Amino acid sequence: MAKIKKQPRPKAVTPKGFRDYFGEEVTQRSEMLRAIAGVYHHYGFEALESSAVETVESLGKFLPDVERPNAGVFAWQEVDEHDPDSNKGDWMALRYDLTAPLARVYAQHRNDLPTPYRRYAMGPVWRNEKPGPGRYRQFYQCDADTVGTASMAADAEICMMLSDTLETVGIPRGDYLVRVNNRKVMNGVLEVMGLGDDQAAKDNVLRTIDKFDKVGEAGVRELLTKGRLDASGAYIDGVGLSDDQVEPVLAFLTSKADNTAKTFENLRAAVGASKVGAEGIGELEQIGDLMAAGGYGSDRIEIDPSIVRGLGYYTGPVYEAELTFDILDDQGRKRQFGSVSGGGRYDDLVKRFTGQEVPATGLSIGVDRLLAALREKGRLSATPTGPVVVTVMDKARMADYQTMVAELRNAGIRAEVYLGNPKNFGNQLKYADRRNSPVAVIEGGDEKAAGVIQIKDLILGAKIAESATLEEWKERPSQFEVPRGDLVAKVREILESQD
């Protein structure tokens, strides 16, 4: 009889490009999302939870990676139940952002939704891209969009709301800047360059413009013409444009001036006689006037022609929130934290479903990056407080301990009974320390007979143990004996003293 081959054990490893989130991070993210949702709701936006899975056809091909079919998404083909052996099933994919699903939702339910429709959404998205340091294939986004109005007031409002959101979660004024541009202005520049219908060349120009903040004016000139050596010494081929073609791009990228009026003057020179370029500048002027009327100056929101945004569905104003404070990179060098949010107007996205243009605009916040920024600023609690732990001195009296926990929970106090092996009391306190528990409740046989309990202030006890002398121990006790009926009152008193 053949020997049965033993199945190898699966490796306990996280898939490449993914990560696990534990209690502290999940709690911090939930608190931040709650604060963001409060701002969105304050502005009149309503929550929407759409499906995590869409048809590939619905999602469209808007990600910057254009090298592969269905590039950048996790996709699979469904089995056709009527013809299982065929290749006719629908292609499905995990959503790569929260905007493309919104277009499908609005097109599907538009007769039941108010117009304009103002919605916010929060949740994970998935991109089948090459992972790298701090770059994961699953990450959280937090969006707000207005669908059904072409008014620039909607774009201005999104930018103002983004500014308020950053300040609400703990990024102070002066540590961020919301920068605004318009795709129509860039289209005007491309028109002046004489690229005609060469979409590939236009895409190459846009991708190069997006590198302006990294390589500067000279680097962009090289990349648009003959090419350049990067920092590693590798040669990067250029787009192959002439010097005359490159001039409008450089005029556009360097048009930002000390004041908004001069910036607009420079932009008009960059777009020349282009009608679409002039239209884009006019829209930027409207946005600037509306933000000024709302009290949002250039210290919070400014016009910046270098903002491009990578997704292909933007059709008008685009914006990006950049954090301007310095952090240290892996080599210990100072650099700015960078972008945590972006968005723009996408007037053609719903049209893919309806055949009719439905104007829309919105923003997306990168939740993980914003959380990282808040940690850098020391705006997040390093260790969230754990539950009160009721220790177990006698397994036969588990019902007594469960009664205590129920009393604490009914009073609104987070609490749990120790459910491990109760033999070693020291291990119970070690468990409470690992949970960052603020209080431990102790009731042995002697306490039970006397009608009392011991309540230990674990936070104060840890501080005293770190630094206090014996005399200070006597002056500041961290353990109290109280009547059993005072359980809730004493625990609450200790928790309030810790706050």
**Distant-in-sequence contacts of 30-33, Cβ < 8 A, 24+ apart:** 32/169, 32/367, 32/370, 32/371, 32/374, 33/122, 33/142, 33/367
Query: pLDDT per residue over 163-202, tens digit each?
Result: 999 999 999 999 999 999 999 998 888 888 887 777 777 7
Q: CA-CA distances (angstroms) from residue 374 to 144, 345, 370?
A: 21, 28, 6
Question: What is this structure's pTM?
Answer: 0.82
Superfamily of the domain at 388-498? Anticodon-binding domain (3.40.50.800)
- pLDDT value at position 403? 97
- Residue found under tokens 């629908």: 90
Q: Are 99 and 346 in contact (CB under 8 A)?
A: yes
Please give the pLDDT value at position 63: 65
Average pLDDT of span 216-230: 84
| Six token digits for residue 464 | 């005293």
Closest CA to 97 of 341, 457, 383: 341
Measured from the Cβ of residue 415, the count of other Cβ atoms closer than 10 Å reads: 20
Is the pLDDT confidence value at 308 over 60?
yes
- Residue 382: predicted pLDDT: 56
pLDDT at residue number 69: 46
- Mean pLDDT to the nearest integer, 352-378: 91
Q: Give the pLDDT of residue 77.
A: 87
Name the segment(s) of the chain with CATH classification 3.30.930.10. Answer: 23-183+296-376
Burial readout 111-139 (b: 16 or more C-beta within 10 A, e: otherwise): eebeebbbbbbbbebbbbbeeeeeebbeb
In CATH terms, 23-183+296-376 corresponds, of 3.40.50.800, 3.30.9.10, 3.40.50.20, 3.30.930.10, to 3.30.930.10
Among 204-208, 267-271, 288-292, 472-476, name the one with the lowest average pLDDT.
472-476
Calculate the average pLDDT of the chain. Answer: 88
**pLDDT tens-digit map of 9-35:** 899 999 999 999 988 889 899 999 999
Distance of CA 367 to the CA centre of its chain: 2
Q: Got the DSSP string for 389-439?
A: EE--S-GGGHHHHHHHHHHHHHTT--EEE--S-TT-HHHHHHHHHHTT-SE
Which pLDDT does position 215 carry in this prediction? 83
pLDDT at residue number 259: 84
Q: Are 333 and 382 in contact (CB under 8 A)?
A: no
Query: What's residue 159's pLDDT?
Result: 97
Question: SS3 of 134, please?
Answer: coil
Q: How far is CA 127 from CA 62, 94, 318, in A?
A: 12, 8, 22
Neighbours of 94 (CB within 10 A): 20
Q: What's the CA gap between 368 and 28, in Å, rounded?
A: 10
Please report which confidence band the pLDDT of residue 280 belongs to, taking 50, 70 and 90 as the band edges. Answer: very high
- Checking if the pLDDT of 98 tops 90, the result is yes
pLDDT at residue 66 in the model? 47
* Backbone torsions φ then ψ of 2, nearest 5 degrees: -65, 140
Residue 70 has pLDDT above 70, yes or no: no
pLDDT at 329: 62
Residue 118 has pLDDT above 80, yes or no: yes
Q: How far apart are CA 280 and CA 307, in angstroms?
A: 14
**Phi and psi torsions of 426, nearest 5°:** -60, -35
DSSP H helices, 177-319, are 183-192, 199-209, 212-224, 243-253, 260-271, 275-293
Query: What is the spatial distance between Cα 154 and Cα 141, in angstroms, rounded to a whole number?
Result: 20
> In the chain, which segments carry CATH 3.40.50.800?
388-498
- Give the pLDDT mean for 235-249: 83
Per-residue pLDDT at 50: 96
CA–CA separation, 78 vs 56, rounded Å? 11
Q: How far apart are CA 74 and CA 95, in angstroms?
A: 8
Q: pLDDT tens-digit profile of 131-170? A: 877 788 999 999 999 999 999 999 999 999 999 999 999 9
Residue the block writes with tokens 């209080």? 439
- Residue 41: partners with Cβ closer than 8 Å, 6 or more residues away: 47, 120
- How far, in Å, CA of 211 to CA of 220, rounded? 7
Cβ burial, residue 11 (10 Å; 0-12/13-18/19+)? exposed
Please tell me which residue, 361 or 62, carries the higher pLDDT value: 361
More confident residue, 413 or 311: 413
Answer whether residue 264 shows pLDDT above 50.
yes
Cis, bond preceding 305 (omega within 30 deg of 0) = no
Q: Give the β-pairing of 235-237 and 227-229.
A: antiparallel
